A = this chain, B = another copy of it.
Amino acid sequence: MKRTKIIDVLKRTDFGAEVLVKGWVRTRRGSKSVSFIALNDGSTIKNVQIVADNEKFDEDLLKDITTGACISVTGTLVESQGSGQAVEVQATQIELLGACPADYPMQKKGQSFEYMRKYAHLRLRTNTFGAVFRIRHNMAMAIHRYFHEHGFCYFNTPIITASDAEGAGEMFQVTTLDLARTGKEEKVPYDRDFFGKKASLTVSGQLEGELGATALGAIYTFGPTFRAENSNTPRHLAEFWMIEPEVAFMDQTELMDLEEDFIKYCVQWALDYCMDDLEFLNKMIDKNLIATLQSVVKEDFVRLTYAEGLQILEEAVKKGQKFEFPITGWGMDLSSEHERYLVETHFQRPVIMTNYPSEIKAFYMKKNEDGKTMQGTDVLFPRIGEIIGGSVREENYEKLVGEIEARGMEEKDYGWYLDTRKYGSCPHAGFGLGFERLILFVTGMQNIRDVIPFPRTPKSAEF
């Protein structure tokens, strides 16, 4: 007999039919004569209730049906008498596939997230993490679907790079040298290292993504990126996933349209396909979760220059608004609290902020004709602050070389990147989205370590 997934069993109405379900016991309760087993198989946050007449089953078997145990149940699909579910399974056969000893670390309800992080391999079996990772899956699907439908090519930029062109953050070194021996020689023997030179883990696929876009027209990356920053905060991971689309022939307005349309598509997907999980998280994690998601999808995003944003913040300070980091005027980097003030308090909807001062942004961004601002298009979100960082890219060879030199960078390190501007250059634009930031937003979770299965942070790379 073929197993039916619990998500499918719960939709069936052919009462009287024989079904086979398998899964893990969430709880078992009942009386002397009857057991009610809540069974979950990961296909949905909902459990199916198994009803077992105790006298029909071996006493030892029933004793082993504890929280966490894995069982296989054959039974009859019946209309449920209790509230909260439409169907239940009247068990005729129960097989114990795997018992669960009493020292099972996920035994109790209400364990702290910090406690559960130590058991990242078992927390996956809880309601909260089941919901989070089903939503994470759905967001990945929404992203691939969106770009595929819009004619983008999924483009795998390299993870290991010996290029000196990145420099967007502290990098991890990748080596096959024996660390017990390097340092004994006059200089590190990179000629004997695997790649014949110093190699690192990528901090961004954007530069290589531009190579793809200026050939295939429109590409997106979706892969892991790395920052060796010693930041122990609820917002930082040493290993995280990024989505970086790049589009040939796209201007600043089209880029903002893309960013807004894309992120609304993802959030709408969650509302359309993840409502069971969202309802659980709305109840347990953030009472405003669903309302926030709905409002993001409904509202037009505000489009605002950095200068206008700064002015609003300065006026707010005059009116008594307190910020941890002061508003110091033109050229300052906005922090998350400033971004959230604009989004949550002032406009009460997402903001796309444009035309930042060039000096606080990267060398590859296209400058406006005023010579002091650049065509950035960052998306600021409630609860998160900056969720997307985007810009039009400088496509003019001379201007780009000028910027590289003005910043004291080495032109020779950018030879392959500059070739895109040397040979058939084209205007283009793109953005980066930190995948885990999107998942934080869509799930209502507070700590980024709780939205990736096995978080990598300083001093922690278990599993």
Contacts and interface: CB of A to CB of B under 8 A. Distances in A.
A99 interface: yes
A28 interface: no
Interface string A177-189: 1111111100110
On chain A, which size bracket covers the interface?
35 or more
Interface stretch (A151-159, A296-304, A312-320): A151-159
Given A172-B176, A183-B182, A216 B101 contact: no
A100 B216 contact: no
Contacts of A133: 153, 155, 212, 216
- Interface-central residue, A137, A140, A239, by most chain B CB under 10 Å: A137
A280 interface: no
A341 interface: no
Interface string A214-227: 11111000011010
Interface stretch (A259-267, A344-352, A368-376, A451-459): A451-459
A195 B457 CA distance: 7
Contacts of A224: 156, 159, 223-224
- Interface-central residue, A42, A175, A188, by most chain B CB under 10 Å: A42
A383 interface: no
Given A70-B426, A137-B154, A217-B43, A177 B176 contact: no
Given A241-B156, A456-B195, A99 B162 contact: no
Interface string A125-161: 1000110011011001100100010010111111111
A134 to B, nearest CB: 6
A433 interface: no
Given A141-B144, A172-B174, A420-B121, A456 B160 contact: yes
B208 A124 contact: no
A238 B178 CA distance: 18
Contacts of A99: 424
A117 interface: no
A364 to B, nearest CB: 15
A228 B424 contact: no
A45 to B, nearest CB: 11
A122 interface: yes
A27 to B, nearest CB: 13
Contacts of A121: 208, 211, 416-417, 419-420
A456 B230 CA distance: 28
- Interface-central residue, A160, A170, A419, by most chain B CB under 10 Å: A160
B137 A104 contact: no
A69 interface: yes
A430 interface: no
A46 interface: no
Contacts of A461: 158, 160-163, 195, 197, 199
B172 A183 contact: no
A177 to B, nearest CB: 7
A194 interface: yes
Contacts of A214: 125
A239 B159 contact: yes
Given A130-B215, A133-B155, A133-B212, 20 more contacts: A3-B249, A70-B425, A97-B426, A98-B395, A100-B423, A121-B417, A136-B154, A158-B456, A158-B463, A159-B159, A160-B456, A161-B461, A162-B461, A170-B176, A173-B174, A173-B179, A180-B182, A194-B230, A196-B458, A196-B460
Per CB-CB distance, the 8 closest pairs between chain A and chain B, nearest first, are: A98-B425, A183-B183, A124-B215, A42-B217, A42-B216, A162-B461, A196-B459, A70-B424
12 contacts: A24-B215, A42-B217, A72-B249, A125-B424, A130-B216, A156-B224, A158-B461, A160-B238, A173-B177, A180-B187, A182-B182, A183-B183
